[in-house]
Structures are given as structure tokens and as C-alpha cells.
Amino acid sequence: MRWRSSSWAAAGAWIATRSSNARSACSWGRRTRTTCSSPEVVSGGHSGDGIPRVNRLGTDPLRSGTTSLGHFPALDGLRGVAIAAVVVYHFLPGQFSGGFLGLDLFFVLSGFLITSLLLESRRSRGSVDIRGFYSRRFRRLMPAALLTLAAIAILAPLLSAVTVGLRLDLLSALGYVANWRFAFSGQSYVAQFSDPSPVRHFWSLAVEEQFYLVWPLVMAAGSVLAARFLRAGLRRPVAVVVLALAALGSAGLMWYWYDPFSDPSRLYYGTDTRAFELLIGALAAVVVGHPRRVRGGRPLLAVGLLAAAGCLVPLLLWSADSSAYYRGGAFLWACGAALVIVSCLPESSPLGKALSLRPLCWLGLISYGVYLFHWPMQLWLTPDRVGLHGPALFVLKVSATVALAALSYWLLERPIRRGRGVISRLPPLVVAPVAVSGVLVLALVAVPPVTRLEQGVEVAESSLPFVEHSTLGESGASPFSALGQLPGEAQQPAGPAEALDIPSLPSAMAEPSSSELDELEAQSNEDFVLSCLTPKPIAVHRDNGAGELVAVVGDSITNQIRDLLISDTRYDWFVLSGCAVSAADLARPDDSRAKEVIEPAFDELIDAAPDRLVVLLGSSDVVNSSPGAYGEIIEAVGERTRTIECRSWVKLSAFAVPGISPERGTNTETFNVALAEVAVRDGWQLWDWDGLVKEVPHTETFHPWLSPIDGVHVSAGLGKAALLNFITSELGADDCPAGSA
């Protein structure tokens, strides 16, 4: 009874003062600027009057028995800045290329806060409260994540034709291993023209959760070892050295493994190559000791302002594939972010006050929900679906994301975290398994087992006069047999609709067997992978003794037909192709990737002195560049190849599969308009591959010439043959147009 009376007395005192504490947490400052002030908290998670405080960094000490750090509104503001950068980066691709660094800031901030909480737990309890830590992390993160995954499992099959791989994506997100799933399944973070998973953004949550799983155990073990083998005065210096070496090791792995010729997604997704950001945050927490002990002053303010300026420049200039980022730049940026975090901790810090503005605090408060919901909004609120473009579409996406995040915070996350609401009254050991199992069942049941390829074939059978799998079967026919001719035997077409002599299928066709579907999917996947298997630019010079050298420049699509092109003995060939070949890099001459990869490749092409040049560039450039840059991209290629007399540029296919790349068609149409304006002015001949593709019978979800994998590359059989025939036919049509440069 004695314990119960004292406990209820403490609880009553806390409730009596709670409303006044809440009012003091956010108030109007001088000059009507809205700020959030911090309650005075001392070691042990209590204010000066001994009343426990509820805060956003920890939980209610009265309920959990843990200590807390108090509320730092500037850190909420930093969260707001970070999530705003990420949202703009995704909602306006090409407009804010450095916005991906918002995730780096989240990593550093998470490392700092989690380590600070664990250190405070050890100070107040004498040991790291591992069980309490895991419990709080689960209550904080899982409710909104489970809600998001359940919504995606239900809505993705309805709003998108893409379901291939979605089951595994959902399961990996549920198990917080999504980063490794995307790293090893070829879902590039950089190649934004590819088909993105609706749970791709869970990769960063997976990195953090893996850190949360391991880090408390490491700290607990380190505390035991330090107490046994080190004097008290040496423990912090040793911890600082160990953390610094670990962070340098992780950053060193990123630098060592980086190849400017390869897709850096493995380095971008990997926990081992991103751990340094979390460790730098942890290092800052160990150096500081306790956030409340940081004292303001001019030196700290100067350091914070310089660090903020240093972080701002890459935020405006870098992109996710910038060489500088992987070669130490990310490490230095994370160090700068840590300095900004520390410098804004003192209540007197002008930088902290600037970050404590109420809109930033509020956005930071719901930043977790904003991050969870923004990516599905980006994929599903498309121009075709909502009828909006440009700023109006951006405002709609932002509004929908913020509204969903606010509802999730106030109705789901906050009540569960504070132990209120119906769900919180149920036993945690019952609620947690049921919730996780429910999402697991949805991932297995709601997502249809049909692959995108199977869906496309089923649609094609009922509406197309031909489908790609007609080239398959026991006969083992060549993929060119559907054309009735081999490479090098193409004839000049009479017009776009008659460009290829493709036989019609019978009016009635047997249902393809599962083995045929598996074979087709495997063939398309293999061809897709092989086109980027060696991402370095490949320059192939084939002398067929024809006397006319044709140079072909292209990306992975050209890679698909490279070997077929050089087998045409009517011409000598110089083919420069590869995933790393990007016209956009020529428009950025100061970029390290342009100097290391693209310029040497074009130098080799110019040295070959070709008679004709054919350019098939633009697939990745179209998505990763703003419309205003399209003309600059085309002019950059023209300037680089001005010594070649006869030049032709192939207009890209603007066919867009709504479920795969809904915005690609609109972007490509804009690119083709810029191409016509600039290329014709500068003496280029335009080859209308886009017009030919559109005249071939197709549906909104399937085109027999385009890969069922991403709707961008050409299909393994018919598409490769069609593109090959188109190029060789145009080459044989006539000589260079009059007035060419």
C-alpha cells in the first residue's frame, strides 16, 4: 500500500502539471516568431521540481521506467529539413538532385539520438536497458510501417499493373531487409527510369532497424568490457577512437568498392557501406556525453554555421551517382551534419532557434509518416490518373502525403506510443504477432501470383495479331524467324506501318504453357541483365571490309543489339554502348563521371573517324534531367561530334506502360520535341523509331517490341530484331541529307 500510495501521488502531481508543461513547450517568441522551447531537464529525466516529463526522444519515464533526454525542438526542425529534401527530390525529379542527402541527415541524427538515449539509460540504471529499448522502438516504428505495408499490399494490384516481385519486396520490407533485397535484385536507386517498387523507400528503414538491432548489444558488451579492463578516465577516449575507426572503415569500403563505370546501388543500399553515417552520429553523442551539457558560444556557432554551409553546397550540386559522394564526400557531409546537430543543441544557439520554427517542428514531428506515405503517392498520383501536371500535381502529392502522415500520427502512432487507445489496452504479446501476421497474409494473398509478363501475354492474346512468345517452342527457331530475315538482309520499308514483315498469329491460339511463360520471362530477364552486365562503355570496332564506317552511340538499349549490328557485313562498325553512356554527362563537363567515363569514350569514337554517326541516347537522360536540360543534352552531343559529316539521331519510343513507367511517355515526347528543334537546326537527320513503335498494334499495358521487364528496353526476340531492321533500313535509305554539318 505504501508503494501504491506514493506511486499514485507522483502520477497525480505529474498530471496536474502536464498541461502547463505542454503549453510551455511551444510558445510565441519575441518578434512574433514561433518557437518551441525546451523544458528544463536534468539527469534522470526530471525537471527541477522532480516531475517526470514526457518527451519525443524517449518515452514517459513514469510508464516505462527509463530515463529521457528532454525535448530538443531544433532536432525536430532538422527532421523537417531532412524530410522536405527527400520529398522534393522524389516529387520533382531532376530539379533538386541533392535531396537524397536528407536520408544521410536522418542516419546521422538517428545515430546521435539512439546512442544518447542508451548512454542516459546506462547512467541512470547502471546498465543498458536492451529490452526496454527494443520495446520502445517497436511501438515507435511498427504501427505506421505495418499500416503502410498493408495499404500497399491491397492497393498496388489495383492501381498498378506491376506485381512482379512485389511479394518478395513486401516480405523484405516487413523483415527490415529491404536494402539487401534491392541491392541484389537489380533495383537501382540511381536508374530512376526503371520500374520502382512501391516499398523501395523501406531500404533506409531497413538500414536503421539493423543498426537498432545490433547497436544496443554492442554498447552493452562494450560497457561490460570497459568497466572490467579500463580505468574510468580512459573509457570515453577509447570509445571515441573505436567509433572513429569503425566509421572510417565503413566509409573506406564505400570508397574502395566504388567504380564510376558501375551502378553504385550496392554501395548506396548496403548497411556495411552506410553504417559510417550512423556511427558518426553515435560518435558525436559519445563526445558530447549528454545533449544538455553542450554550452553555446561564438566558437560553437561559427562551427555550426560553417558546417551548415558546407552541407548546403552538396545538397544543391550533388546527385546520387556523383563520384565525389562515394569517394569520401558522404563521410565529410555526415561529419558536417553531426556538427550542425551539436551546434543547435544549446537553447541560446541562433542556429537552434532558426530550426525551432513551429512549421519545421511540426513537419519533423510527422516526418516518419511523411516518409512512409510519400513514395506511394509519387507512384500512384500520376498525370494520367489525376489529370494534373507540373505545380498542381506537386501540390496534390504534398497535400495528400502530409494529410495521411498527420492522421497516422494523431490517430495511430501517438496513442500507441503513449499507451492510450483501444489497441494499447490489449496485451502487446498478442497485438504484435497478430499485426505482423496480418500484413504477412496480405502480402501472400492480396498480391496476385501472376507476373507482369503473364499479364501482358494474356492481354496480347486477346487483342494483338502477334505476341512475342510466338518465337518460342520446341522448334528452337531463331528469334529473327518471326521477321523472315536475318541481320544484314533487311530491305528498305515503304512506310512506318510496313517497316517489318511480321506474320499474323492464328485467330485461335492455345493457352501458353507455364514452361513457355517461364522460358519467355527467363529470356527477357537474361537479355535485360546482359545489356548492363558490363556497365563500362564498350567500344567495339568491326572491320567487315565494307569501306563505310558507321558509328553507333547508345546506352543499354544499344548494348542489346550491339553484336547483331556488327554482324551486318554491309558496313564497318564502331559501336559505343553501355549503361554508363549518358548524354547528360557531356552537358556537365565539371562532373567527375563525365571526365572519367564519357569524355574518353567519345574521344575514342572521334579518333575512329566514322563516315556516319547514329545516336540512340536518352532513356535515362529523359527521366533524370529536367525538360529545360533536354536541349543542352542534345547540343552537348552535337558539339562533341561536330567533326562527323553525316549524323542521325533516333527519336526515342514514347510508348509508356502505365503500370511500369507512367511518366516516361510524357517526358520522352518533350525530349523528342527538343530533339527536333535542336537537331534539325544543327544538321541532324531524325529517324522516327517512335512513330514506328506507335503504329505497331499494342495495348496500354503491353507492346511486343518492348521488354515486359521495364517497358523501356526492347524485347528479347521481336523487339531486338525490329530495332536492328529499323537502323539498317534507315542506313540504306539514302545518303546524308543536304545541309548537314
**Mind spelling out the 3-state secondary structure of 484-531?**
CCCCCCCCCCCCHHHCCCCCCCCCCCCCCCHHHHHHHHHHHHHHHHHH
- Comparing CA positions, the residue from 360, 355, 367 lying closest to residue 401 is 367
Residues 6+ apart with CB under 8 A from 225: none
For residues 524 and 716, the answer to whether their CB atoms sit within 8 Å is yes
> Residue 511 — very low, low, confident or very high, per pLDDT cuts 50/70/90?
very low
Res 450: pLDDT = 52
What does the pLDDT look like over 7-50, one tens digit per residue? 444 444 443 444 344 334 443 333 333 444 333 333 333 333 33
pLDDT-derived band at 69 (thresholds 50, 70, 90) equals: confident
pLDDT value at residue 429: 63
Strand order in the sheet with 612-616: 538-542, 572-577, 549-554, 612-616, 646-650, 685-687
498 vs 480, residue with greater confidence: 498
* 663: pLDDT strictly greater than 60: no
In angstroms, the CA 513 to CA 473 distance is 10
Task: Give the type of residue at 202.
Answer: F
Nearest residue to 512 (alpha-carbon basis) of 560, 477, 460: 460
Question: Which SS3 state, helix, strand or coil, does residue 10 take?
Answer: helix
**CA–CA separation, 284 vs 302, rounded Å?**
17
Over residues 688-712, the mean pLDDT reads 73
Beta strands in 516-656 (DSSP E): 538-542, 549-554, 572-577, 612-616, 646-650
Q: Which residues of 413-449 are buried (b: 16+ CB within 10 A; e: fewer)?
A: bebbbeeeeeeeeeeeeebbeebeeebbebbeebbee
Which domains does the chain carry? Answer: 74-445 (no CATH), 460-731 (3.40.50.1110)
In angstroms, the CA 409 to CA 147 distance is 12
Q: What are phi and psi of 576, to 5 degrees?
A: -110, 110
Place of cell 567504380: 259
Taking residue 735's Cβ as centre, other Cβ atoms within 10 Å add up to 8
Any idea which residue has 523537417 for its cell? Answer: 80
Between CA 552 and CA 646 the distance in angstroms is: 12
Give the pLDDT score at 489.
Answer: 33
| Higher-scoring residue by pLDDT: 348, 33 | 348
User: 617-660 pLDDT, tens per residue?
Assistant: 876 676 666 666 777 778 888 888 888 888 888 887 766 555 44
pLDDT at 461 over 60: no
What is d(CA 726, CA 724) in angstroms, rounded to the nearest whole number? Answer: 5
d(CA 733, CA 648): 12
Calpha distance 335→355 (Å, rounded): 19
470-486: pLDDT as tens digits: 222 233 332 222 332 32
- Give yes or no for residue 602 having a pLDDT over 80: yes
- Give yes or no for a contact between 71 and 38, defined as CB atoms under 8 angstroms apart: yes
Q: Name the one residue in this structure whose C-alpha cell is 533536354.
A: 630
Q: Is the pLDDT of residue 694 over 50?
A: yes
Residue showing cell 540504306: 732
> How far from the centroid of its chain's Cα atoms is residue 359's Cα?
26
pTM higher than 0.85: no
User: How distant, in Å, are the alpha carbons of 80, 204, 391, 735 from that of 401?
Assistant: 14, 18, 15, 55
